[in-house]
C-alpha cells in the first residue's frame, strides 16, 4: 500500500546532491538494492498531474524507522522533490524490486556519481554481517562526491576517484577497479551502480577476471510494480526483463551489454 | 449506496470502473493492493497468438501531464495466457475482458477462436488501434474496411460480447465507429493512445527507442471526451470511455459525454489503488448529487436542468 510518510530531512549536500530522510513504517523491511517510488508533489496542495509519474529512488540507508535517499536534481521531478521540507508528508510506494544477492565473498562496492545510493545501505548490511568490503566511489568533481562522508561511517576502506582529480585519484572509477580487486586475498564479488557505460565497462572486466558482479540499473519507470513493461531492459537470451520488478539488481551475465540497453 | 451496476448490452458490470489494457498486466501486480473483484472489470494487456518481446528500450518518455510509451504489445502469447494468466484472474474474482491483437486478420481470428474455447471470459476487446506495432493495429484501426474485416472475422468465431477499441489517430472517428458496429461490434472502447514523439534537446535523439509512441494521461483527456461524445452521437452501442482519468470528476465527465463505463489506465501508474478508489468516489458523487444510479449520468451532457445555478 502507498504510505504517507513524514519528511525529517531534505538537505542539499552540494553538487546538486540531496539527502532525503523519512520516518516510514513500510520501508523497514527494505533490503539493499530495493527502491521506493515517490510522488514528488506537496501533499498539502491540491493535486496536480504534472509531473505525472512517480520517481524511483534506491534506498540509501535504513536505520530503525528512518529511511534515507540520495538523489541528484536531473529534471522537473527531482527539482520538485528538492522543494519538499522537513515536517511535510510524502506519498511513497515500496520497498519495490529485487535487491543485491549478498554472498559470503569479500565485497568490492563500486559507485559512479549518484549511483552510490544503493551501496551505502549495502555497506551498512555488510558491516553488520562483519564481512570484508571495500568501497570505490567516483564522480566528476569533489563536489559531486558530497556523499562520500556518509560511507566513512561504515568503512575505512574507502577509495575516491574524480575525473578532475579534485579529490582522490584522477580518472574514471573503472580505471581503478582491476587494481583494487587485485588487492583482495580472496576473490571478491563486485556490486555496482552508476551510468550505463560504467556498468558496461565493469561487465567486461568481471567477465575477463571471472568475478561475480551484481549491477543495479537505472531506468525511467511508470508503474514501478511490473505491470506496464515500460522500463524493459534487454537480456542476453533475447527476452526482456522489467527493471522495476525483475531488477533493478541483475547479475551482469544475464544482461545484453550491446547497444540495446544503452 | 447508489446503484453502480451498468449494462453494456449483454455485458453486465457491477460498476462502471474498469482498468485499461496495457496498464494493468494480467492483474497480478495490482492484486496485492486490492481485490480485483472490486472492479467493474479487468481488461488484460493485449494477447497475441505468439509471444511478443515488444519494442526496443527506452519505451517511456514523460511529457507534460502525460507519458509517451512504445511497449509494442509485449506479452507471453495466448497459450501461456490460457494456462497461467486466465486461471489466476478467475481465482482473483475479477470480471475478465481479454484484449486481443494480431498482425493479420487471420491472427486476430485465431486468438479469438482459441479464447472462445475457454471458460470465464466476460468479453473480448479487439485492439485495432495500437500505435506501436506497425503491422498489428494502427492500419486496422484507421481504415474502415480493414477495421470491418477484423471485426467481422472475430465476430464469426467469438460468440460472447465483442468490444472494438478505436484509435484516435483518424480524421473522423464516427466513421470508424459506424464501420465496426456494422461489422458486429457490440460495444466500443475509446480512445487508445494518440501517436506522439519527443526529442531530447541535448542529445538530439528521439526519447523513445521506437522513435514514435502513444500519448496517454491527463494531457489527452479533452480529446478523449470529445471523441466519446462524437461516437455516442453516431452509433447506438454502449461505449467504454477512457483517456487520462485520474479523478472521479473525470469519470463523471466521460459518463456525461455518453460512456456507459470507463477505463483507468495511466492513472494506475501514479496511484496503484486509483481504480478501486474511484468506485467508492463515484458512489459518493452520486449520493451528494442526489442521484441513485449511474444511468442518470450517461449521455446527460447539457441536460443538467438547473444544476448550473449551483455555479453562479
What ipTM was estimated for this complex? 0.93
Overall average pLDDT of the B125-150 stretch = 80
d(C-alpha B178, C-alpha B235), whole Å = 6
**Domain-by-domain residue ranges, chain A?**
3-96, 107-216
Residue range B148-173, pLDDT digits in tens: 999 999 999 999 999 999 999 999 99
CA B141 to each of CA A260, B129, B134: distance values in angstroms, whole numbers, following the listed order: 30, 5, 11
User: Residue B254: in which H helix or E strand, if any?
Assistant: helix B248-257
- Identify whether B311 is a catalytic site residue: no
Interface check A262 vs B, CB under 8 A: no
> What's the pLDDT score for residue A260?
42
Residue B19 has pLDDT above 60, yes or no: yes
Question: What topology does CATH give the domain A107-216?
Answer: Rossmann fold (3.40.50)
Best B45, B52, B270 member to test A by mutation, with max A CBs in 10 Å, is B270
Residue contact B67–A227, C-beta within 8 A: no
Number of residues that make up chain B: 312
Residue range A48-106, pLDDT digits in tens: 899 999 999 999 999 988 999 999 999 999 999 999 999 999 999 999 999 999 999 99
Is the peptide bond between B14 and the residue preceding it cis, with omega within 30 degrees of 0? no
Overall average pLDDT of the A126-147 stretch = 96
pLDDT grade, residue B138 (50/70/90)? low
Overall average pLDDT of the B242-261 stretch = 98
**Mean pLDDT of all residues in chain A?**
95
| Partners of residue A39 in chain B, C-beta under 8 Å | 270
**Which residue among the candidates B39, B41, B46, B130 is catalytic per the annotation?**
B130
Minimum-distance CB partner of B273 among A2, A224, A238: A2
Q: Does a structural domain hold residue B169?
A: yes
d(C-alpha B159, C-alpha B213), whole Å = 33
CATH superfamily assigned to domain A3-96: Translation factors (2.40.30.10)
H-assigned helices in A142-182:
148-152, 177-182
Residue B134 has pLDDT above 80, yes or no: no
Distance from CA of A39 to the nearest CA of B (A): 8
> What's the pLDDT score for residue A262?
43
d(C-alpha A29, C-alpha A37), whole Å = 15
DSSP B146-200: HHHHHHHHHHHH--S-EEEEPPS-SS-HHHHHHHHHHTT-SEEEE--PEEEE-B-
Residue contact A220–B58, C-beta within 8 A: yes
Q: Which domain holds residue B237?
A: 6-55+71-195+217-311
Q: From the centroid of its chain, how far is CA B22?
A: 9
pLDDT grade, residue B305 (50/70/90)? confident
CATH code, domain carrying B99: 3.20.20.70
Of all residues in chain B, the percent with pLDDT exceeding 70 is 96
Q: Which tops the pLDDT comparison, B309 or B260?
A: B260
| Partners of residue A230 in chain B, C-beta under 8 Å | 59-60, 67, 69, 71
Lowest mean pLDDT among A65-79, A181-195, B61-75, B125-139: B125-139
> What's the pLDDT score for residue B312?
57
Q: Does a structural domain hold residue B33?
A: yes
Q: Which three cell numbers stand for residue A24?
A: 516510514
> What's the pLDDT score for residue B46?
96
> For chain B, what is the domain count?
1
> What's the pLDDT score for residue B1?
87
d(C-alpha A40, C-alpha A11), whole Å = 15
Overall average pLDDT of the B23-32 stretch = 96
Of all residues in chain B, the percent with pLDDT exceeding 90 is 91
Residue B238 has pLDDT above 90, yes or no: yes
Residue B84 has pLDDT above 90, yes or no: yes
Q: Does a structural domain hold residue B206?
A: no
pLDDT grade, residue A229 (50/70/90)? very high
Q: Does a structural domain hold residue B31?
A: yes
Q: Does a structural domain hold residue B253?
A: yes
Residue B308 has pLDDT above 80, yes or no: no
Residue contact A230–B56, C-beta within 8 A: no
Residue contact B61–A220, C-beta within 8 A: yes
Overall average pLDDT of the B128-133 stretch = 71
Amino acid at each position: 500500500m502507498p504510505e504517507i510518510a513524514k519528511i525529517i530531512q531534505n538537505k542539499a549536500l552540494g553538487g546538486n546532491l540531496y539527502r532525503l530522510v523519512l520516518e516510514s513504517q513500510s520501508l523497514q523491511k527494505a533490503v539493499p538494492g530495493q527502491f521506493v517510488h515517490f510522488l514528488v508533489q506537496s501533499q498539502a496542495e491540491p493535486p496536480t498531474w504534472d509531473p505525472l509519474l512517480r520517481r524511483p529512488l534506491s534506498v540509501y540507508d535504513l536505520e530503525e524507522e528512518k529511511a534515507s535517499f540520495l538523489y541528484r536534481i536531473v529534471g522537473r521531478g527531482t527539482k520538485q522533490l528538492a522543494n519538499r521540507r522537513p515536517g511535510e508528508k510524502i506519498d511513497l510506494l515500496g520497498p519495490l524490486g529485487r535487491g543485491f544477492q549478498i554472498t559470503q565473498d569479500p565485497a568490492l562496492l563500486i559507485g559512479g556519481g549518484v549511483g552510490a545510493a544503493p551501496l551505502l545501505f549495502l555497506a551498512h548490511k555488510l558491516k553488520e554481517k562483519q564481512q570484508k568490503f571495500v568501497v570505490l566511489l567516483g564522480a566528476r568533481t569533489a563536489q559531486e562526491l558530497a556523499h562520500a562522508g556518509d560511507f566513512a561511517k561504515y568503512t575505512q576502506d574507502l577509495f575516491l576517484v574524480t575525473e578532475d582529480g579534485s579529490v582522490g585519484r584522477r580518472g574514471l572509477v573503472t580505471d581503478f577497479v582491476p587494481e583494487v580487486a587485485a588487492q583482495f586475498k580472496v576473490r571478491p564479488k563486485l556490486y555496482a551502480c552508476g551510468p550505463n557505460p560504467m556498468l558496461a565497462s565493469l561487465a567486461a572486466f568481471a567477465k575477463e577476471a571471472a568475478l561475480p558482479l551484481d549491477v543495479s540499473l537505472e531506468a525511467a519507470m511508470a508503474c514501478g510494480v511490473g505491470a506496464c513493461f515500460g522500463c524493459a531492459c534487454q537480456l542476453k537470451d533475447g527476452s526482456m526483463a522489467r527493471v522495476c520488478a525483475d531488477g533493478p539488481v541483475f547479475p551482469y551475465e544475464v544482461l545484453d551489454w550491446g547497444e540495446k540497453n544503452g | 449506496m447508489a446503484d453502480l451496476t451498468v449494462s453494456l448490452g449483454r455485458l453486465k458490470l457491477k460498476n462502471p470502473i474498469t482498468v485499461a489494457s496495457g496498464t494493468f498486466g494480467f492483474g497480478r501486480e495490482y492484486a496485492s493492493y486490492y481485490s480485483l473483484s472490486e472492479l467493474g472489470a479487468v481488461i488484460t494487456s493485449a494477447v497475441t497468438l505468439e509471444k511478443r518481446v515488444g519494442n526496443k528500450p527506452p519505451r517511456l518518455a514523460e511529457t507534460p501531464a502525460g507519458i509517451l510509451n512504445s511497449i509494442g504489445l509485449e506479452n507471453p502469447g495466448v497459450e501461456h495466457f490460457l494456462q497461467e494468466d486466465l486461471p489466476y484472474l478467475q481465482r482473483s474474482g475479477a470480471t475478465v475482458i481479454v484484449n486481443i491483437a494480431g498482425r493479420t486478420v487471420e491472427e486476430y481470428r485465431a486468438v479469438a477462436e482459441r479464447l472462445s474455447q475457454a471458460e470465464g471470459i466476460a468479453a473480448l476487446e479487439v485492439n485495432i488501434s495500437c500505435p506501436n506495432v506497425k503491422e498489428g493495429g494502427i492500419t486496422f484501426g484507421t481504415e474502415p474496411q480493414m477495421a470491418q474485416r477484423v471485426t467481422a472475422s472475430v465476430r464469426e468465431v467469438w460468440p460472447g460480447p465483442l468490444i472494438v477499441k478505436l484509435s484516435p489517430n483518424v480524421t473522423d472517428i464516427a466513421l470508424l465507429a459506424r464501420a465496426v458496429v456494422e461489422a458486429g461490434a457490440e460495444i466500443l472502447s475509446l480512445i487508445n493512445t494518440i501517436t506522439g514523439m519527443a526529442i531530447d534537446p541535448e542529445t538530439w535523439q528521439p526519447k523513445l527507442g521506437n522513435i514514435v509512441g502513444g500519448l496517454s494521461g491527463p494531457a489527452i483527456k479533452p480529446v478523449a471526451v470529445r471523441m466519446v461524445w462524437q461516437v455516442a452521437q453516431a452509433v447506438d452501442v454502449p461505449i467504454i470511455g477512457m483517456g487520462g482519468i485520474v479523478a472521479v470528476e473525470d469519470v463523471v465527465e466521460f459518463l456525461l459525454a455518453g460512456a456507459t463505463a470507463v477505463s483507468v489506465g495511466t492513472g494506475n501508474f501514479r496511484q496503484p489503488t486509483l481504480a478501486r478508489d474511484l468506485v467508492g468516489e463515484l458512489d459518493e458523487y452520486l449520493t451528494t448529487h442526489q442521484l441513485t444510479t449511474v444511468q442518470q449520468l450517461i449521455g446527460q451532457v447539457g441536460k443538467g436542468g438547473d444544476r448550473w445555478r449551483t455555479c453562479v
